[in-house]
Structure 1
């Protein structure tokens, strides 16, 4: 088994979504092949018509025969046009089916990829799926279906005369040789150019996310120079690849036109020596043109072929890296008992140790504050607690069950999470609070009142129906944070994890947050939060001090504060008040 065959077999075994989609598309693709048979057979009408004109109509001067032949030609060409339309529509259906079958799966894989530590989320995999879909609905695929008919047309030329068939076979072989050379020469630079362009796109997206900082600090010219250098490199590589591809496309077109002209001359020579009929002169040119057209077209779209192959490989890699989780038995609503048992976490393949042997427990109805200096691993711990990241060692358990074993769709409604950068979505306030579910409006208002944000939301231009823009761009930082808090407590979750929930809050927001924590305790939810403001510690039961990724101390609030005060008195630089 070749490497390519083994790779295809691996796809068949490890990517059931792709194989299921391929099976679903098998019938329309076979139909395209079936219609291609009729299209290519009917294309013989033009050379036949030409031969009949020269061999029968001109010699007999029969107008009735000319009219009949012309009517047959028109009807046949109309049928060809109809069949081409049907082929195109079938391929459009295939493209639509691919998007319906794989669109959600691709989006899910991208979301999982975005949760990988150190990896920024992007839409590249969805763009790859679009590239595949667009290619399959284009003319290149129809040319691939027409390619098997090249030897059939050459056979008809052999029937006209062996010399004509021999020349056609040589011409087809020469074009196939050019096509293979095109593949060998252009594939490496096209691959390099695509990789460079993808890196430039990633840098562009990262730069645009930091547009405010760039503008405020006058960094735009410097970042633009770096962007331009990266883009120039990609464009130069793309230009080199396109230059080679264009050269081969031009050579192919030149050879095809030259060969069609030369076969006219050869046919004329045969007519002069009475070895072929006069109609063979133009029929041979038409047949050769039809035989070489698929090869020329495939050479012309070869860049797209290479791009689609690369896109397909990236798509398969994403699917295999982030498979669809197996169905598991739904667990009952968790009570909120959280256990962190000897958890360790690293980044950059173990080069950076973030957390070491972290252990603690949170009972339902308890509020735990996580404090510590910068780079202590606080935000990383929050991501581990909600299952966004998985520990390299140890386990995080919710009600005794490994967090990794919970089905995210079933567990999600029972988890409240406010990340450090809040992460609101384009849409209305109510859609963001309800997590884009079809929730009861009373439940949305109840969550807003629980978080003390109902009046704030009513003060927006359209209240709960206010559009907040991408990332909540139309809101202030404090408004975004308070709406993020409402979303976190929507649905009365059992576990609430808050990463610096008061970093942007004013005094009213601080009061609302303290009241919220008290209500969550009364409702029996367990709360873990990162905070650096002493004003919020009134609502805390326990404190966890992290230092260099390890638990420095864990215990009741009073006990930990007493310890920290003792250390502060001894001039040891530990603080829970000042931001890291």
Structure 2
């Protein structure tokens, strides 16, 4: 049974869990097949080169190639599963997100809910990208390190030490860049909202000579974004460079240590090569996590913003289906307060309009005419009283059913992207003759 507090975002994530479970299962076999290369090298060095058996060489090589072919197929299938998981997440969420964005924008235009659409893309790319693969492969790190200990304790210690150092670098990356990336993201959203609002009022900006002032305002916000992001990138770049140095130093160290142990007859040359390959595989997910850390942080912030938006703007229950309205409008002691405001702009208004009646509202600027119009079409909710169409309260009407019967002209008019005919027809299927008439 669906929980009352379950948001659309949580439902979309829950629907993707099965695919992620399959991805984890595939990751198990993929990582298991990672032992093929070191075991093949171990047998080549310690068995084939000693016995000089060509038959053994052919059998081992064919077997290894067959297993690696399976590995490649599983890798491809895992990638396709993740891509389709991201598409499934988008398919489940996009409709409800789009509606929530518009509901939030209607309630409070200053909320900047348009960022949520970009946040959904970011989370979808995270689900279908390399970050999830790094998370699926991470549990295998201790298994590969344990395999290194089985070959020789010293070789295992080198792998363990390398994993700890690289993990510490990843943790340092998180601690040093998290706040900067969060601040940069917040300032970037603010700068984008400033530019968007200015473009919507481009005529006013041009006519009143405000372009330089608006540009300076945007430049300051944009500059703050670049400052925070560049500082975070500098720190992350330094940590990535240190991580690569550690990675290459560990490779040299394990080969040098393996050669010394082979000279001392404690291990064979095959063990030395196998240990090097296993250590490389053990450190690969950790190093990948370091490289994906910015993606981790950005996706986490995007998920948190989406979660907060869906909690603030929950899904509305589908209203009961009503017949087409005939046009009787009843306004009873309605009080309207603008979103985010406290002072009523319309207070205690009562009005009754029968079908076929024409009424004009006349008054000075700021008297509440536009506010009443917004309340009549459901853009602004009323804080007291009721608005009824054919006896049913406005909240009981589905906007998709009532809207086609209403005409609404706001103070700020813009054509939507499309032809004039499509705008007139409200982007529904239409007959050209109906549009003209």
**1:255 paired residue number:** 246
Q: Give the Cα separation in 1 of the matches to 2:113 and 2:173.
A: 32
Listed as ranges, the matches of 1:106-505 within 5 Å are 106-119=97-110, 123-347=114-338, 349-439=340-430, 444-445=434-435, 448-449=436-437
Q: Give the Cα separation in 2 of the matches to 1:429 and 1:216.
A: 26
Please tell me the root mean square deviation across aligned C-alpha atoms, in Å: 2.2
**1:96 paired residue number:** 87
Q: Give the Cα separation in 2 of the matches to 1:355 and 1:293.
A: 65
Deviations 1:108-145 (A, max 9, x none): 11111221244376631111111111121111111111
**1:47 paired residue number:** 38
Deviations 1:421-459 (A, max 9, x none): 3343222343323322234556x24xx43xxxxxxxxxx
Between the two structures, name the one with larger relative contact order (CA 8 Å, sep ≥ 6). 2
Conserved? CA contact 1:15–1:319, under 8 Å? no
Conserved? CA contact 1:118–1:347, under 8 Å? no
TM-score of the pair, normalised by structure 1: 0.71
Distance verdict in 2 for CA 1:91–1:12, change over 3 Å: farther
Q: 1:178: Cα distance to partner?
A: 2.5
Conserved? CA contact 1:111–1:121, under 8 Å? no
Q: Give the Cα separation in 1 of the matches to 2:342 and 2:248.
A: 61
**2:12 paired residue number:** 21
Q: 1:44: Cα distance to partner?
A: 0.9
More helix by share: 2
Distance verdict in 2 for CA 1:120–1:211, change over 3 Å: farther
Q: 1:200: Cα distance to partner?
A: 0.9
Conserved? CA contact 1:249–1:300, under 8 Å? yes
Q: Give the Cα separation in 1 of the matches to 2:229 and 2:295.
A: 13
Q: Give the Cα separation in 2 of the matches to 1:297 and 1:352.
A: 55
| SS at 1:370 equivalent | coil
Deviations 1:164-199 (A, max 9, x none): 223322322232232223222221111111111111
Q: Give the Cα separation in 1 of the matches to 2:318 and 2:32.
A: 50
Pairs aligned (count)? 436
Deviates more, 1:187-196 or 1:117-126: 117-126
Q: Give the Cα separation in 2 of the matches to 1:161 and 1:85.
A: 34
TM-score of the pair, normalised by structure 2: 0.93
Q: 1:60: Cα distance to partner?
A: 2.2
Q: Give the Cα separation in 2 of the matches to 1:416 and 1:223.
A: 34
Distance verdict in 2 for CA 1:18–1:231, change over 3 Å: closer
Q: Give the Cα separation in 2 of the matches to 1:72 and 1:211.
A: 69
Q: Give the Cα separation in 2 of the matches to 1:26 and 1:322.
A: 24
Deviations 1:488-532 (A, max 9, x none): xxxxxxxxxxxxxxxxxxxxxxxxxxxxxxxxxxxxxxxxxxxxx
Q: 1:40: Cα distance to partner?
A: 0.7
Q: Give the Cα separation in 2 of the matches to 1:257 and 1:440.
A: 69
Q: Give the Cα separation in 1 of the matches to 2:4 and 2:159.
A: 43
Q: Give the Cα separation in 1 of the matches to 2:277 and 2:396.
A: 65
Q: Give the Cα separation in 2 of the matches to 1:243 and 1:121.
A: 29
| SS at 1:68 equivalent | helix
Q: Give the Cα separation in 1 of the matches to 2:143 and 2:232.
A: 34
Distance verdict in 2 for CA 1:292–1:12, change over 3 Å: farther
Is the radius of gyration larger for structure 1 or structure 2?
A: 1
Q: 1:84: Cα distance to partner?
A: 1.2
Conserved? CA contact 1:15–1:316, under 8 Å? no
Conserved? CA contact 2:7–2:314, under 8 Å? no
| SS at 2:345 equivalent | strand
Conserved? CA contact 1:146–1:294, under 8 Å? yes
Deviations 1:181-224 (A, max 9, x none): 32222211111111111111111212222333333443322322
**Structure 1: 5+ residue runs without aligned partners?**
1-10, 450-580
**1:457 paired residue number:** none
Conserved? CA contact 2:112–2:193, under 8 Å? no
Q: 1:292: Cα distance to partner?
A: 0.9
Conserved? CA contact 2:345–2:368, under 8 Å? yes
**2:49 paired residue number:** 58
Conserved? CA contact 1:12–1:19, under 8 Å? no
| SS at 1:46 equivalent | helix
| SS at 1:359 equivalent | strand
